[in-house]
A and B are shown apart, each in its own frame.
Chain A
């Protein structure tokens, strides 16, 4: 049953090649979707371009359906895939800081890599900023370790939170995505008119 032990199958070097291949596809899709261009990414926050929302939520929905379908069919073991444990407060604080970084800097870490790969100078300064930011965190993590470990809930999932069947939650997420696509598109047209 999936997932597989790549190191046992292909050796360490072979497993790295699998990750290079996955990264390659990831970078290719990001660049092809326009995510190497900070103007298109930032435009999300002015409702001028909705690519970030559309790509992200379509991807999450599609992946979620396939993952939980495979689990239901007994092909994939949920206990063996890597689900990040929830640390609620540092997650929310980090998210807010990243939202601010996103609107000031125009990228997120993954998209800035694609931007640098296509020789965008703003992407290069952003990536240098990331290196400064992660280094600062690494140096000062000890000072905030209480906060960094606060709100710990372990592996805690939406079906557990909502007391609903997994299948129902998948359906709700699909509905949420569709409502957001329609709602954001409606706002965009209110502000900028029909044409795009």
Chain B
């Protein structure tokens, strides 16, 4: 139920885009890195795994680089950026009265169905982001702005994947027609 009144509270997308572009520039200018998200989430996931099964983490090469032996997977800038993203999102939502326990879903499906698809989509997103070495933030936005060919190919692949499947799963999002 996206009533016009609710939508009007969001920023004009071009204003949001200009501010995000300024932030992305500042991030490169000050820190040498662009923006990131999935890498930080991965490190948090590895930290949890390292608490439960540390011996296994030490023996698995890809994650041992982050958490093997004495290495602390959380001692990395991406983890702190993720914490900042959550804090900033929370404050923005709080100021606009949008911090509210609810499930956003298309009008044709139940919350339960929405949760199941959200989990499946998230799992694909997480796997794909590691395969591609970055997500919408780290690859598309950051790599795109510094003109990396791989990031541009990645970005068009994301849109191709989304648009390619959208029609087949329209019941998830579209109003009944």
Inside 8 A of B106's CB, which chain A residues have their CB? 39, 42
Whether B124 pairs with A58 at a CB distance below 8 angstroms is: no
B69 within 8 A of A: no
Work out how many contacts link A and B, with CB atoms closer than 8 A. 537
| C-alpha spacing A126/B115, complex, angstroms | 8
- Given A39-B2, A122-B118, A130-B38, is A85 in contact with B21 using a C-beta cutoff of 8 Å? no
- Given A82-B34, A135-B49, is A39 in contact with B173 using a C-beta cutoff of 8 Å? yes
- Given A93-B131, A101-B123, A129-B119, is A156 in contact with B13 using a C-beta cutoff of 8 Å? no
Inside 8 A of A153's CB, which chain B residues have their CB? 149-150
| C-alpha spacing A16/B84, complex, angstroms | 10
B133 within 8 A of A: yes
Q: From B23, B100, B129, give the contact of A134 (CB < 8 A).
A: B129
A83 within 8 A of B: yes
Inside 8 A of A133's CB, which chain B residues have their CB? 122-130
Grouping DSSP codes into helix (H, G, I), strand (E, B) and loop, the A interface class, with mixed when no group exceeds half, is: helix
- Given A66-B21, A103-B162, is A90 in contact with B133 using a C-beta cutoff of 8 Å? yes
- Given A60-B141, A114-B85, A153-B150, is A99 in contact with B80 using a C-beta cutoff of 8 Å? no
| C-alpha spacing A123/B86, complex, angstroms | 12
Q: From A20, A26, A54, A63, give the contact of B14 (CB < 8 A).
A: A54
Whether B124 pairs with A134 at a CB distance below 8 angstroms is: no
Inside 8 A of B75's CB, which chain A residues have their CB? 12
| C-alpha spacing A28/B87, complex, angstroms | 8
Whether B80 pairs with A19 at a CB distance below 8 angstroms is: yes
CB distance from A192 to the nearest CB of B (A): 11
A193 within 8 A of B: no
Whether A67 pairs with B28 at a CB distance below 8 angstroms is: yes
Inside 8 A of A32's CB, which chain B residues have their CB? 10-11, 16, 92, 96
Q: From A91, A136, A157, give the contact of B132 (CB < 8 A).
A: A91
Whether A3 pairs with B85 at a CB distance below 8 angstroms is: no
Inside 8 A of B121's CB, which chain A residues have their CB? 100-107, 126, 129
| C-alpha spacing A99/B7, complex, angstroms | 25
Q: What are the 8 tightest A-B residue pairs by CB atom distance, in nearest-first order?
A: A105-B121, A99-B161, A23-B84, A129-B122, A133-B126, A58-B17, A94-B132, A62-B21
Sample of 14 further A-B pairs with CB below 8 A, known A19-B31, A20-B81, A93-B132: A46-B166, A51-B16, A58-B16, A63-B21, A63-B22, A64-B147, A92-B154, A93-B128, A96-B164, A98-B124, A101-B125, A103-B162, A105-B117, A137-B126
Binding site for A on B (CB under 8 A): 2, 7, 10-11, 13-14, 16-35, 37-38, 41-42, 44-46, 48-49, 60-63, 75, 77-78, 80-93, 96, 98-106, 111, 114-166, 169-170, 172-174
Binding site for B on A (CB under 8 A): 2-4, 6, 12, 15-34, 36-40, 42-46, 48, 50-51, 54-64, 66-67, 70, 75-76, 78, 80-88, 90-123, 125-139, 141-142, 144, 148, 153, 155-161, 166, 169
Can you list 15 A-B pairs with a CB-CB distance of less than 8 A? Answer: A19-B81, A20-B87, A33-B11, A39-B173, A58-B21, A59-B141, A60-B144, A91-B132, A91-B157, A97-B124, A99-B165, A123-B104, A125-B118, A131-B41, A153-B150
